[in-house]
């Protein structure tokens, strides 16, 4: 398993709902958690490893590893208040993009044990969820840039 790099077209796939959590999906969750750590990331969406299912792994803990799995996330509401955060992406190494997102969101998802979670998230956790959900919709941080800047960056990435 490896992280897909832009401009791989699989990064643009809209993920399908994950309907069954079984031994195979749990194995994939574990592989993705390890890959996220190997790549020094804080989040990794299934679409970033070529799996078109709606889930991602993340870990915002500071010292101990406390990875979590988010399955079929749905943003129920977003605050009008915004936050701008310099976001990076494992699929576009070396790029940091200032992205404006809702400061708070209310989200519903299923954890890896099959429990439904509903939670209000703010600050970095809110940004991370919005970023990873974008991946599940086939969207990347470069899509948030003004058109001219996006074209310039895409050209630079492709020429590397």
Structure tokens at 143: 């899509």
Catalytic annotation on 24? no
CB 142 within 8 A of CB 97: yes
The one catalytic residue among 112, 116, 123, 132: 132
130: buried, middle or exposed (CB in 10 Å: 19+, 13-18, 0-12)? Answer: buried
Alpha helices in the chain (DSSP H): 23-38, 123-136, 147-159
Q: Which residues are catalytic?
A: 132
């Amino acid at each position: 398993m490896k992280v897909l790099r832009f401009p791989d077209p699989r990064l643009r796939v809209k993920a399908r709902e994950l309907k069954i959590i079984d031994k195979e999906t749990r194995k994939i969750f574990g592989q993705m958690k390890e890959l996220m750590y190997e790549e020094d990331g804080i989040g990794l969406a299934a679409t970033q490893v070529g799996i078109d299912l709606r889930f991602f792994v993340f870990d915002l803990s500071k010292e101990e590893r406390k990875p979590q799995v988010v399955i079929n996330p749905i943003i129920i509401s977003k605050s009008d208040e915004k936050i701008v955060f310099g976001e990076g992406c494992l699929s576009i190494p070396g790029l940091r993009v200032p992205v404006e997102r809702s400061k708070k969101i209310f989200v519903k998802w299923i954890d890896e044990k099959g429990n439904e979670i509903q939670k209000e998230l703010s600050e970095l956790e809110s940004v991370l969820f919005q970023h990873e959900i974008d991946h599940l919709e086939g969207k990347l941080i470069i899509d948030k840039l003004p058109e001219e800047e996006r074209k310039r960056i895409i050209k630079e990435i492709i020429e590397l």
